[in-house]
Amino acid sequence: MDSLNLVLLLGASLLFVGLALGSLGARLGVPSLLVFLVVGMVAGVDGAGLRFNDFETGYLVSNLALAVILLDGGLRTRLSTFRVGLKPALGLATLGVALTAALVGGFATWLMGLDWRLGLLLGGIIGSTDAAAVFNVIQGSGLRLNERVASTLEIESGLNDPMAIFITVLLVGVITVGGDPLGWATLVTLLKQFGIGAVLGAASGVLLALLLVRLRSNEGMHALLLCTAGTTVFALTNSLGGSGFLAVYVVGLVVGNRGGGVGDNVFRSMDSLAWLAQSGMFLLLGLLVTPSSLGDHALDGLLIAAFLIFVARPLAVWLCLLPFAFRWREKLFVAWTGLRGAVPIVLAMFPLLAGINETRLLFDVTFVVVLASLLFQGTSLGAVSRWLRVALPATPEPLQVVPLSGSDNRYLMQFRIEPGARALGKPLSTVGGEFAQPLLVIRGEQRLTVSEDTAVAEGDRITWLGPLREKDHLADLCQTVTPSIKRFYGDFTVRGDVPVADLALAYGVSVEPPLPDGLTVAQLFARRIGGLPVAGDILYLGGLRLRVRSVTAGQVTQVGIRLPR
């Protein structure tokens, strides 16, 4: 009994310290995941003296935690983002991971004098970005990235684990039992990983969404049902030879976008469970590390991390994004956000559990690479996004978001009208646009009748019905217009359906070469961007700088204008 209480005391104390320091570190720009790792290392053999070297338990707990994290990430990913980010993310999650693994593997083989198979195995282990790290650092830093970059990063981190696992398992098999790594069996295995994972995840997601809509339990129970069902699908898919990581992400994606049983309170409960999973996993991984042994391979690990961050990842991103309309600033930011986290550490346990020689070397080098990635890339993400100008001005979160049962992606969203908001004084019927319908206005203690001529006033709490993609547009209308927002978007705003000729005439600018008659501002962006426009995209018309302010269903609806200085 005393030993049980001691374990509970140590475990709860470490979690408490990690969470407290993680919250403090987030304010200072330090990724909380890095804090958890360090707390685990300090509590370990070379610190407080806790001895934990059970890699099998660490592997089990890490897989369970990653299933919950990927499920939560899928729940928060809107299908509308696939319109912009799916194709580039697929390239990065497959070809990008393979290129990164090959480049890093070749460099590690040359640098450390390893057998080429071990070098490539190390490349495969650290070849993929980590969903837990990407989701945690972007959300923790409060960044609001433009949709092209944000959707690509989110989808890539959710989809690239199967390729990294495939490469790692393949090379472990080549080293232990031999075989041809480039044969037909390899291709069949890869197709099984992605195919079974995607199909089983989608089918399970549909069934789970239907079940949640019909259950009458409280929303806290819904979060637990989601976690247990997602973990079941994860284990079942792995046992059938598919990718459990891909399957559980797709389950979350399907359930989150079908609405019904997943409301704002469910998201809050899932957020708590995801935090528990992340903190517990990174603390445990920190305990597995012996810091004194890292010194033997620290220099090699730092050199490999530098090659990964500054050569391999940027080159893979540049090649994979060549067919797509990414600006050089966006490509550079996507390359810099190639964060490594728990997945490489978990993959580094594969060869160790398989009994391959020199696996402790692979584990220690992987850990140094992860620490370097979180420390250098994670802490600088906010500054780099501002320097490259891929971050949008922050918008307020809704007071409440509730899915409408039985409706296709329709939500009730309530916002408060802040002082100096763009919506002030405008008729309510013109504020939400074509896709968001105002349902309720609360002014002070009164509930007003919604009519077309109701003027929006400061402090109003307005509830709209519309698709979730309208959330940022509504938030932009309801927030205080600060000097930083004016600098970003400009002093004036026009609709996307305004003819370019009328805009040029109104501001007295000439357009060269002449544009077709009737061409609208939205059509001009669609022409010049070379792909689907997103909020934050810029083009110049004469001396005017036009920046997309909002996009609905792929069409530019609002554009900010900055006049020539």
Distance of CA 290 to the CA centre of its chain: 31
Q: What is the pTM of this model?
A: 0.82
Domains of the chain, first to last: 2-181+283-388 (1.20.1530.20), 400-478 (3.30.70.1450), 489-562 (3.30.465.10)
Starting at the edge strand that comes first in sequence, how are the strands of the sheet with 544-552 ordered? 492-495, 555-562, 544-552, 538-541
User: For 156-165, 348-357, 391-400, 455-464, which range has the lowest pLDDT when averaged over its residues?
Assistant: 348-357
**What is the separation, in whole angstroms, between the first and last Cα of the chain?**
75
Output the pLDDT for position 178. 66
Instruction: Answer yes or no: are the C-beta atoms of 249 and 394 closer than 8 Å.
Output: no
What per-residue confidence (pLDDT) applies to 264?
Answer: 65
146 vs 2, higher pLDDT? 146
Instruction: Give the model's confidence band at 110: pLDDT under 50 very low, under 70 low, under 90 confident, else very high.
Output: very high
Looking at the chain, the whole-number percentage of residues with pLDDT higher than 70 is 90
CB 71 within 8 A of CB 248: yes
Give the pLDDT of residue 308. Answer: 95
Q: At what angle do helices 97-112 and 116-125 cross, to 10 degrees?
A: 130
Task: Give every CB contact of residue 443 below 8 A, 6+ residues apart in sequence.
Answer: 457, 459, 460, 461
CA dihedral for 74, 77, 83, 84, sign (positive or negative): negative
Element at 558 (helix H, strand E): strand 555-562
* Confidence bin at 280 (pLDDT 50/70/90): confident
DSSP string, 37-100: HHHHHHHSTTTT------HHHHHHHHHHHHHHHHHHHHHH--GGGHHHHHHHHHHIIIIIHHHH
Q: Dihedral angle at the C-alpha atoms of 550, 552, 558, 559, nearest 10 degrees?
A: 60
* Residue whose C-alpha is closest to residue 294's, from 347, 342, 365, 345: 365
Other C-beta atoms lying within 10 Å of the C-beta of residue 152: 31
pLDDT in tens, 452-467: 678 888 899 999 888 8
Average pLDDT over all residues of the chain = 82
Q: 211-236 in b/e burial notation, b at 16+ Cβ within 10 A?
A: ebeeeeeebeebbebbbebbbebbbe
Q: What is the pLDDT of residue 190?
A: 75
Q: Per mean pLDDT, which of 214-223, 224-233, 485-494 is the most reliable? A: 224-233
pLDDT for 302 equals 93
Taking the C-alpha atoms of residue 64 and residue 417, their distance in angstroms, rounded to an integer, is 42
pLDDT at site 503: 86
Q: Cα-atom radius of gyration of the chain, to the nearest Å?
A: 25
Mean pLDDT of 340-357: 80
pLDDT of residue 109: 93
Q: Do the Cβ atoms of 69 and 406 come closer than 8 Å? A: no
Residue 184 pLDDT > 80: no
Distance separating alpha carbons of residues 53 and 151, to the nearest angstrom: 38
Per-residue model confidence as pLDDT tens digits over 282-341: 888 888 887 777 777 789 999 999 999 999 999 999 999 998 888 899 999 999 988 888
Q: Are 549 and 395 in contact (CB under 8 A)?
A: no
| 392 or 130: which leads in pLDDT | 392
Instruction: Look at residue 26 and tell me whether its pLDDT is greater than 80.
Output: no
- Between CA 320 and CA 35 the distance in angstroms is 33
Of 343, 212, 302, 304, which is closest to residue 266 (Cα–Cα)? Answer: 212
Q: How far apart are CA 347 and CA 166, in angstroms?
A: 10
Q: What is the pLDDT of residues 502-533, one digit of tens each?
A: 888 888 887 777 777 788 888 888 888 877 88
Cα 198–chain centre separation? 19
Task: State the pLDDT at residue 263.
Answer: 65
Cα–Cα nearest to 160, from 208, 126, 207, 184: 126
Answer with the residue of higher pLDDT: 400 or 260. Answer: 400
Residue 386: Cβ-neighbour burial (10 angstroms; 0-12, 13-18, 19+): exposed
Distance CA 473, CA 435 (A): 11
